[in-house]
Amino acid sequence: MEYTTLGRTGLRVSRLCLGTMNFGPLTPEADSYAIMDKALELGINFFDTANVYGWKQYEGYTEQIIGRWLAQGGRRREQIVLATKVYHAMGDSPNERWLSAYNIRQSCEGSLRRLQTDHIDLYQMHHVDRKTPWEEIWQAMEVLVQQGKIIYVGSSNFAGLHIAQAQSAAANRHFLGLVSEQSLYNLRTRTIELEVIPACRTYGLGLIPYSPLAGGLLGGALQKATEGRRSNERAQQQVEKHRPQLEAYEGLCGELGEKPADVALAWMLHNPVVTSPIIGPRTMEQLTGSLRALEIKLSSETLTRLNEIWPGPGGEAPEAYAW
């Protein structure tokens, strides 16, 4: 396994991050345990979850599964960098959601209880809250750091403007501020190249891309269709919409002798701003198969061809749309 620092911090995390969103809804608890044990065995030490994962209203079901796994001991907790999130509703009260100091404190206590741990390594804001002032947010986060309940703070689904606002407010308080941003990013969806990636580079945030395979579209979707595997209607619509690109992409992967999913991950890993793409395996096979991406080195010619197949926004703002 390869490791890198999380943004400008000294914290070392694996180049692949284990996403746990499938634990509970799609992956049974026992299988989830096995996947987490195998991830540790493979050297993956970065685990990501959220208080709303599990999709059982207000229960934090996925966090509970991780907590029961951690409770088995064997130095599991000491070996991982544990990340979770706050923002979405975790109760019927109007104050049990968003990023008020009230909810940040309450949500943190709930996550600690479900995860059966005394601290969260990376506490991420799941979305920007435009109604809560940064002074209130950072004061709440500072208290949690002082109490030893969280170590680092990250963001998710922030625009470049929000990162700049957050860091400016943190600097005024002499606080570390954000150390990471978790964004939707893959070969098909490259909007964050305009402003989020430049903001991450400028402020020293590690980028943690989610959905690196575009919901399976970049994982060999044409081959799966040929093999007759069942897919939902929405997925099939996406395949048909992008069929010319997928044919070119999977053809290129065939020339390289690599699986499409591995090439998609390798493309992300070549970007120095990217810390760890989130892989969300439903099965053990999907987990172990992802490791090949760490060994693939894409040539400049291959990168050019990938950009031709899946063009981004044209670079960073403003040059992407102006002179």
**Catalytically annotated residues:** 53
Task: Decide: 84 and 116 in contact? Cβ < 8 Å.
Answer: no
Task: Decide: 124 and 180 in contact? Cβ < 8 Å.
Answer: yes
Task: Decide: 73 and 109 in contact? Cβ < 8 Å.
Answer: no
Task: Decide: 29 and 60 in contact? Cβ < 8 Å.
Answer: no
Alpha-carbon distance of 94 to 266, in angstroms, equals 43
Alpha-carbon distance of 277 to 186, in angstroms, equals 9
SS3 content of the chain, % helix, strand, coil (to 5): 45, 15, 40
| Identity at 287, one-letter amino acid code | L
Q: Residue 225: CA atoms inside 13 Å, Cβ hemisphere, count? A: 19
Residue 155 buriedness (CB in 10 A; 0-12 / 13-18 / 19+):
buried
